[in-house]
Amino acid sequence: MSMRRFSLLSLAREALRGHSGWQPQWRSPPSPAAAYDAVIVGGGGHGLATAYYLAREHGMRRIAVLEKGWIGGGNTGRNTTIIRSNYLFPESAALYDHALKLWEGLSRELNYNVMFSPRGVLMSAHSVHDIQSFQRHIHANRLAGVDNEWLTPEQCKAFCPPLDISPHARYPVLGGALQRRGGTARHDAVAWGYARAASALGVDIIQNCEVTGIRREGPGGAVSALETTKGLVRTARVGVVAAGSTSLVMAMAGLRMPLESYPLQALVSEPVKPVFPCVVMSNTVHAYISQSDKGELVIGAGTDQYTSYSQAGSIQILTHTLDAITEMFPMFRRMRMLRAWGGIVDVTPDRSPIIGLTPVPGLFVNCGWGTGGFKATPGSGHVFAATIAKGEPHPIAAPFNLARFETGRMIDEAAAAAVAH
Amino acid sequence: MSAPFRTHQGGRPDRARTLRFTFDGRTYDGHPGDTLASALLAHGVHLTGRSFKYHRPRGILSAGPEEPNALVELDAGPGRREPNSRATMVPLRDGLLARSQNRWPSLAWDAGALTGAAAALLPAGFYYKTFMGPGRAWEKLYEPLIRRMAGLGRAPAEADPDRYAQRYAHCDVLVVGAGPAGLAAALAAARGGARVILCDEQMEMGGSLLSQPGTRIAGLPGWEWLEVALAELRALKVRLLPRTTAFSYGLQNMVSLAELPERAEGPRERLWMVRAARVVLATGAIERPLPFSGNDRPGVMLADAARVYALRYGVLAGHRAAVLAAHDSGYEAAFALQAAGMEIAAILDPRAAPPADLLAEATGRGIRVLAGQGVARSLGGRRVTGLISTGGERIGCDLLLMAGGWTPSVHLFSQARGALRWDAARDAYLPDTAPEAVLCAGACQGSYGLGACLAEGHAAGGGHGAAPGAQPGREPSGMPTAQAVAGAAKAPMAFVDFQNDVQAKDIALAVREGFRSIEHVKRYTTNGMATDQGKTSNMVGLAIAAATLGQEIPAVGLTRYRHPVTPTGFGGLAGRHRGDLFEPIRRAPLHGWAEAEGALFEPVAQWRRARAFPRAGEDLHAAVLRECRAVRQAAGIFDASTLGKIEVVGPDAAEFLERLYVNPWKKLAPGRCRYGIMLREDGFVTDDGVVGRMAADRFHVTTTTGGAARVLHMMEDYLQTEFPELRVWLTSTTEQWAVIALQGPKARTILEPFVEGLDISAASFPHMSVAACRVMGIPARLFRVSFTGELGFEVNVAPDQAPALWRALMRAGAPHGLTPYGTEAMHVLRAEKGYIIVSQETDGTVTPDDAGLSWAVGKAKRDFVGKRSLARPEMRRRDRPQLVGLLPRGTVPQEGAQILASPGARMAEGHVTSAYWSPALDRPIALGLLAGGRERMGQTVYATVMGGAPIAMEVTDPVFLDKAGERVNA
């Protein structure tokens, strides 16, 4: 199936005939075929990207993405869209910077405007400990060729005028780490853009199709088929990319994953004219904020303290978040919360993802992105596709193997910096 | 000044009093009881806003919180500017200053409306299909342009000076909505003795009764019954909260309410968090608009809204109305408006056979009914002047009313995880079952008659006997919305979401492009994502999507109802947690003394700690050097009160610590201390601190300043979930003990005269001893410990006694050179001795062995938290980063600098964790974590410098001073 190119010209042509000629952006077969070369479980950004790169870079054609709801309806459509790659450890920086480089050309690669907007991500420091930690990041990032720079409080203010840098603030801004290449993107467009491009390469995207069982056969217990609410699907390769539901899916293959699932909330304000030029993250004050193209202030909140599969968190998390936002940006106190929502994030013991093989032959997993997976979407899909296609970990994915929780080779970004992803 | 559209009499506003207000620079008048919208309509002002995308002129659509169009900026002075306020919900007050927004240069003439001319190029999702290049054109050109066009009002520019409050409340019954159903519920519950809270978003209670003056309840005229009912509720001590929106329904009946109190001197907003044994939802229903060309022209309004303006506010929204009635309620509105003095040009009823009784009544009233006809398009410019019917007839009017049926307000019920069911007869989703203790009454469950509302409310409130009686109304009917929207997708400028400019054809386009899930349709078109949260657009959009797909509405699904029900102010949600009350600063008992001494402070966790005590002419560096020297040569005094303290008590206390810390505890004798290390389950150091055994069953545990709460939480977690069999009790005592540290060779000399009942000589009170005693007569726990490498004591006393003791020690120590020192000197002193700081030398990836602390681990212990993880192969590698000392050549490297094996290396082998100028060594020193560091003594490594040449450093032992420990044991 060929993909009709999107452009100003195609828009203009369609405008002349009332936009009656647009076709479905991706094919939606009502049910899966009987067999595929590879099946991706989970139609979020990571899963759709995986399918796209499998088709595009590894020549696989008979691929399906099974989604129990609607594509992009999980954490892809529920996050605050922050993109950055200034992670501390070389393994993480390599993974996230791989993604960032793909973000930079993604709209044109997919012929779908995902609105990647490198407006800069500023992480504000509020204590001597923050300064030490951020400067460690900057030293490490520069060595790894990842941009990250230190700003004085005055430079922070110049970069983000709404910031209050008064020394009398409860947590005064003592400086900041800025990644200029970081920014935001339009989350839904990422799912749709990958779906459209994957579909054009022959990938079947099946929505409202829940996986209910994983069949295994042979002496090694290799994957042979998936049971779904839309029938049996035979396949020898399964990539599970199910975020908060990963532990449930993997349990169908008898695997217990080192994951805990928590509700994580976010909110937006009513839209206003441009007032906030960049992304600001403050781990000390617990404030994460940017402004969408539509004009809404997009604000990240925290996870609930207890594990849950409920996509609704508690109101206290929101009030605490707004305490922090209005403390750092007192002029926003008369703004209003328009919409708040929750997603289920799957968290590993070292807060880094798991990408790779599992003890079950033919079963691959990509999960554990916790509170920060959106930024990795293109890179995650890219290296996971290579891992599935070749049956061995892509070099960038290799450190993020499942076995590390047994060997102890952790990649603990959160502990290292007390930084939310 | 006259208000030409005000009726001669009637309505709720108090006509005896006049309020003046300004909109877009023009001054108008109104009355108490008016909203900004009703007062503007009284002057014939419909045009109040511009839409989001095409900047189309928009008028007032509704009379309630569902208003998508009439959004204005309120300006009450500096810091009190408030964008996007719904004019329909703004109570009028004297001096109110309002402006239109999202227009330039004026509301009537808006340059942004040019986008409307290009609307054909800008269908739903156009931005996904273009603006992808060339180069960085998206972020440099298109995105900034789109951003400027988007947004609505202007964000406030200054800090808000107003106060906000929060309250928690409990009750037996929370009733949401004070219309007839809610009032009946509250009355029944309160009469039964229940504690009741009744809230309503309007400034006045009464709901639909406010616009039904002629109705009769329990033998009384409606408004009289309302007065009596409210008086009885007050007498029964029901908490009445008008101007209060229930916006969020949480687990276990925790409902959040946002109150906008009327009193000017009180808080501007109050957030109520109400835990209710039972919740009664009487939230009413919202009328649906209908999509046709130009249905967004100012002067096109919801039919019931026009009725409300006439009967509640005494304002006619026009002189001559045409009514598009796909539902019976359009007739009721037309009849009521006619009675109030409005001319009804015609009723257009798309149903081929409208109900006979309504037809008869219309005929009797002399109103023309065009059965089987709808509106093809509205006529006019920035105000409606007429319409063309689908039959081709031109009808002149200055008001065009839409009655598209009703959408029960099930938002809160849905948030309560209640299931909804599709009711074909009522053409709506209705509440079904919910896991919470919640009941619905009245229009929010599709019961529209007054009698039914009262009866259901009475029952939901637990009432016995008969409900307040009212005439049973006729059962209304209407054309299903899925039919009423037929053909709309072909009509130009037939709007579904007015604010976001989503047209019926946009929804059809989304479906055509494969967006089948209603959630996809919503996100692709932005239908229902405006500030009205889809209150008027969701069901119409759903009907169009269903029609396009050729499916029934229930097959298409329903978007999730999210909180808040209506936009809720940040200020109220944050409440009092601002400035000094935003995570209040914790101040140790000696904080005031340090402040008076002119200390420099640093934020540490929730505390401010004195970083140094610079004297006149000293900078931080000079002060730190002086303080360090004083400690090494004489004595220093230090406030260590912020250290976390936990009292661990019980017969199994030693066993508990044995399991929580890596160290052995059972053989620690009472009166002795030990340096404890705590790991997480993954084997990495999470906290450390000295633990003193006060008695066989009692330990005084200290933690890091930042770790106090975390450690207590972790201990409780293990005690309650893993080791419930242990008889141990934990108490946080951080604030029960102030801690004064005396460190230095003269420490004993200074302290000794103050100590009663204890011999603190080296022989009888050696390093790592602890005892209860009296110091200056004050009951104390005295530790002989050191974080400086010097002879040291830490005196724990009650906080209120600490300042006196501190001053007495200062006086007694002065002749000996006793000097107060701050955290920075403390850091330098401990680094000279190679003592780690958890979270500086450790980062959650450091094992006890990495930190050179293997000696502390109880080798014979069967188990402790983290032990199993330490056995993993990666944890035992010899090339793990290990703590080393570093002797930088020349300058002090930056903390966090990466360590390289050679100046040009691209791979780091570790990092500098601490770096200082050491006054004791008179040179820079550093600590670092270096791969296989303990086997690299004497090697030269390099610290990275931002924008400079790396600094050479010699790898050495982390203990720079007094390796034998003679000073500490003195």
Give the CA distances from residue B962 to residues A65, B369, B766, B830, B957, in Å, rounded to whole numbers and listed in that order. 66, 103, 17, 12, 12
Q: How confident is the model at residue A1 (pLDDT cuts 50, 70, 90)?
A: low
| Cross-chain residue pair A6–B156, CB shorter than 8 Å | no
Contacts of B2 by beta carbon, 8 Å cutoff, 6+ apart: none
CATH class of the domain defined by B19-119: alpha beta
Distance CA(A276)–CA(A273), nearest Å, equals: 9
The answer to whether residues A107 and A192 belong to one domain is yes
The predicted pLDDT at position B400 comes to 98
* Cβ-based burial of B119 (10 A; exposed 0-12, middle 13-18, buried ≥19): middle
Inside any domain, residue A132 = yes
Start-end of H helices in B760-887? 802-813, 823-832, 867-870
Q: What is the 3-state secondary structure (H, E, C) of B222-250?
A: HHHHHHHHHHHHHHCCCEEECCEEEEEEE
Contact residues for B840 (Cβ-Cβ < 8 A; gap 6+): A129, A132, B895, B913, B914
Give the list of residues 6+ apart from residue B211 with CB closer than 8 angstroms, or none: B307, B308, B310, B311, B312
Q: Does the CB of A129 have a partner CB in chain B at under 8 Å? A: yes
pLDDT range class, residue A421, cuts 50, 70, 90: very low
Query: pLDDT-based confidence at A418, cuts 50/70/90?
Result: very low
Report CB contact under 8 Å: A327, B582: yes
Hey, are the CB atoms on A113 and B131 less than 8 Å from each other?
yes
B644-732: CATH superfamily: Aminomethyltransferase beta-barrel domains (3.30.70.1400)
Report pTM: 0.95
| Predicted local distance difference test score (pLDDT) of residue A415 | 62
CB atoms within 10 A of CB B475: 12
Q: Do the chains contact at A416 and B250, CB–CB below 8 Å? A: no
Mutation target among A149, A323, A336 for the B interface, most CBs of B within 10 A: A336
Query: What angle is formed at CA B910 by the lines to CA B908 and CA B916, rounded to 5 degrees?
Result: 120
Which residues does chain A have within 8 Å of residue B126's beta carbon, measured at their own beta carbons? 11
Last residue of a domain, one of A347, A371, A397: A347
Nearest Cα to Cα of residue A119 among A327, A273, A274: A274
**Where does B563-619 have alpha helices with state H?**
570-574, 591-596
- One domain, residues A170 and A285: yes
Q: Do B569 and A325 touch (CB under 8 A)?
A: no
Does A326 sit within 8 Å of B908, measured CB to CB? Answer: no
Give the distance from residue B228's alpha carbon to the nearest chain A alpha carbon, in angstroms: 36
Report in angstroms the alpha-carbon separations of B385 from B333, B345, B347. Answer: 20, 12, 16
Q: What's the rounded Cα separation, in Å, for the pair B347 and B371?
A: 8
The answer to whether the CB atoms of B578 and A323 lie below 8 A apart is: yes
Which pLDDT belongs to residue A419? 40
Split into its structural domains, chain A has a count of 2
Asked if residue B756 lies in contact with residue B802, where contact means CB atoms within 8 angstroms, the answer is no
Picking from A57-71, A407-421, B226-240, which range would have the lowest pLDDT averaged per residue? A407-421
Residue of B nearest to A25 (CA): B513
DSSP letter assigned to residue B855: G
Count of CB atoms situated within 10 Å of the CB of B738 = 24
Q: How does DSSP assign A161-216, residue by residue? A: TT----TTSSS---EEEEETT-EE--HHHHHHHHHHHHHHTT-EEE-S--EEEEEE
**Alpha carbon of A221: minimum distance to chain B alpha carbons (Å):** 27
Asked if B259 contacts B270 with a C-beta cutoff of 8 angstroms, the reply is yes
Token pair listed for A317: 């998390």
A236 contact B CB<8A: no
- Is the CB of residue B942 less than 8 Å from the CB of residue B927? no
Residues 305-344 of A with CB under 8 A from B: 312, 314-315, 318-320, 322-327, 330-341
Nearest to B248 by CA among A343, A341, A310: A341
Q: Are residues A271 and A213 in the same domain?
A: no
A176 and A44, same structural domain?
no
The β-bridge relationship of strands B81-86 and B71-75 is: antiparallel
Asked if the Cβ–Cβ distance from B514 to A26 is below 8 Å, we say yes
- A295 and B156 in contact by Cβ < 8 A? no
Residue B648: both structure tokens together:
């661990």
Contact A341, A242 (CB under 8 A): no
Query: Are A113 and B681 within 8 A, CB to CB?
Result: no
Q: Which residues of B touch A25 (CB under 8 A)?
A: 513-515
Looking up residue A231, the CATH number of its domain turns out to be 3.50.50.60
Taking the domain B289-404, which CATH number applies?
3.50.50.60
How confident is the model at residue A3, as a pLDDT? Answer: 84
Task: State the best of A10, A113, A311, A405 to mutate against chain B, taking most chain B CBs within 10 Å.
Answer: A113
Question: What tokens were used for B168?
Answer: 């928690």
Q: Are residues A57 and A104 in the same domain?
A: yes
Q: Report the amino acid identity of residue B8.
A: H
Interface of A with B in 275-304 (CB under 8 A): 275, 291, 293-295
**Three-class secondary structure of residue B631 per DSSP:** helix
Query: In chain A, what residues touch B946 (CB-CB under 8 Å)?
Result: 138-139, 142, 150
Considering the domain architecture, whether residues A129 and A264 belong to the same structural domain is answered as yes
Query: What are the backbone angles phi and psi of residue B378, rounded to the nearest 5°?
Result: -90, 160
Is the pLDDT at A420 greater than 50, yes or no?
A: no
Distance from CA of residue B819 to its chain's centroid? 46
User: With an 8 Å Cβ cutoff, is A136 touching chain B?
Assistant: yes
| Helix segments in B313-417, DSSP class H | 329-340, 356-364, 411-415
The reply to whether A111 touches chain B by the CB within 8 Å rule is: yes
> What residues 170-189 of chain A have any CB closer than 8 A to a CB of chain B?
170-172, 183, 186, 188-189
A40 within domain boundaries: yes
Compute the distance between CA of residue B582 and CA of residue B568 in angstroms, rounded to an integer. 20
Which of B742, B748, B917, B751 has its CA nearest to residue B819?
B742
A265 lies in the same domain as A379? no
Mutate to test the interface with A, among B570, B606, B679 (most CBs of A within 10 A): B570
Residue ranges of domains in chain B: 19-119, 163-285+406-476, 289-404, 586-642+737-820, 644-732, 867-970
Q: How far is it, in rounded angstroms, from Cα B183 to Cα B218?
A: 13
Tokens 């050549």 belong to residue: B889
Q: What is the pLDDT of residue B465?
A: 87
d(CA B3, CA B31): 11
Q: CATH assignment of B867-970, given 2.40.30.110, 3.30.413.10, 3.30.70.2190, 3.40.50.720? A: 2.40.30.110
Ramachandran angles phi, psi of A244, nearest 5°: -60, -20
Q: Which residues of B touch A407 (CB under 8 A)?
A: 872-874
Q: Please tell me whether residue B49 adopts helix, strand or coil conformation.
A: strand
Strand boundaries in B504-570, DSSP class E: 568-569
- The amino acid sitting at B549 is L
pLDDT of B471: 78
DSSP codes joined into one string, B153-170: BPPP-S-----EEEEEEE
Is position A51 within any domain? yes
Nearest by CB: A135 against B133, B571, B895: B895
Look at A334 and B516 and tell me if their CB atoms are within 8 Å.
Answer: no
Phi, psi of B276 (to 5 degrees): -115, 135
Indicate if A200 and A107 belong to the same structural domain. yes
Report yes or no on A21 lying in a domain. no
Q: Number of helices (H) and strands (E), helices first, in chain A?
A: 12, 19
Q: Using the beta-carbon criterion (under 8 Å), do B153 and A272 form an inter-chain contact?
A: yes
Is a pLDDT exceeding 60 seen at residue A97? yes
In a domain, A22, yes or no: no
> How does strand B792-797 pair with strand B818-820?
unpaired
Going by C-alpha positions, the residue among A299, A340, A319 that lies closest to residue B271 is: A319
How far is B783 from B769, CA to CA, in rounded Å? Answer: 6
A198 near B CB under 8 A: no
- Judge whether A13 lies within some domain: no
Residue among A192, A333, A407 whose CB faces B571 most closely:
A333
Point out the domain boundary residue: A347, A374, A401: A347
* Cα dist from A333 to A295, A324, A337, B400, B959, whole Å: 16, 11, 10, 38, 51
For B457, the token pair is 């409310």
Q: Taking the mean position of all CA atoms in its chain, how far away is CA B461?
A: 32
Q: Which domain holds residue A328?
A: 121-181+260-347
Amino acid at A355: I
How far is the C-alpha of B949 from the C-alpha of B963, rounded, in Å?
A: 33
Q: What is the mean pLDDT of residues A374-388?
A: 98
Structure tokens at A307: 């594990």
Contact B387, B377 (CB under 8 A): yes
B-chain residues near A337 (CB < 8 A): 564, 567-570, 573
User: Chain B neighbours among A 370-399 (CB < 8 Å)?
Assistant: none
Structural domain contains residue A28: no
Interface of A with B in 144-173 (CB under 8 A): 150, 170-172
Q: CB–CB of A113 and B683 under 8 A? A: no
Could you say which architecture CATH assigns to the domain B586-642+737-820?
2-Layer Sandwich (3.30)
On whether both A77 and A144 belong to a single domain, the answer is no
A315 vs B248: CB contact, 8 Å cut-off? yes
**Cβ contact, residue pair A339, B533, below 8 Å:** yes
Instruction: Give me the residues of chain B with pLDDT under 70, please.
Output: 1
Cα angle value A413/B705/A124 (rounded, 5°): 45
* Nearest-angstrom CA–CA distance, B57 and A266: 33
Q: Are residues A406 and A303 in the same domain?
A: no
Choose the closest CB to B843 out of A108, A332, A416: A416
B442-460 burial code (b ≥16 CB/10 A, e <16):
bbbbbbbbbbbbbbbbbbb
Is A107–B159 a contact, with Cβ atoms under 8 angstroms apart?
no
| pLDDT of A416 over the 70 cut | no
pLDDT at position B784 is: 98
- Strand, helix or coil at A303? strand
User: What pLDDT digit, counting tens, does each position of B300-332 carry?
Assistant: 999 999 999 999 999 999 999 999 999 999 999
Q: Does domain B163-285+406-476 have CATH number 3.50.50.60?
A: yes
Give the C-alpha separation, B645 to A125, whole Å.
Answer: 28
Rounded distance between C-alpha atoms, residue B643 and residue B639, angstroms: 9
CA triple A243-A244-A246, angle to 5 deg: 65
Same fold, B586-642+737-820 and B867-970: no
Q: Are residues A272 and A137 in the same domain?
A: yes
- Looking at the fold, whether A159 and A275 belong to one and the same domain comes out as yes
Q: Least CA distance to A269: which residue of chain B?
A: B567
Strands (E), A10-58: 38-41
A410 touches B: beta carbon within 8 Å: yes
Last residue of a domain, one of A302, A320, A347: A347
Report pLDDT for B466: 87
Report yes or no: B150 and B81 within 8 Å, Cβ to Cβ: no
Q: Is the CB of B151 less than 8 angstroms away from the CB of A409?
A: no
Judge whether A50 lies within some domain: yes
Rounded Cα gap, residues B374 and B811, in angstroms? 94
Q: Is A403 on the interface with B (CB under 8 A)?
A: no
- What is the interface pTM, i.e. ipTM, of the complex? 0.97
- Does A117 sit within 8 Å of B143, measured CB to CB? yes
Cβ distance of A271 and B52 shorter than 8 Å: yes
- Interface probe for A, chosen from B132, B509, B563, B721 (most Cβ of A below 10 Å), is B132
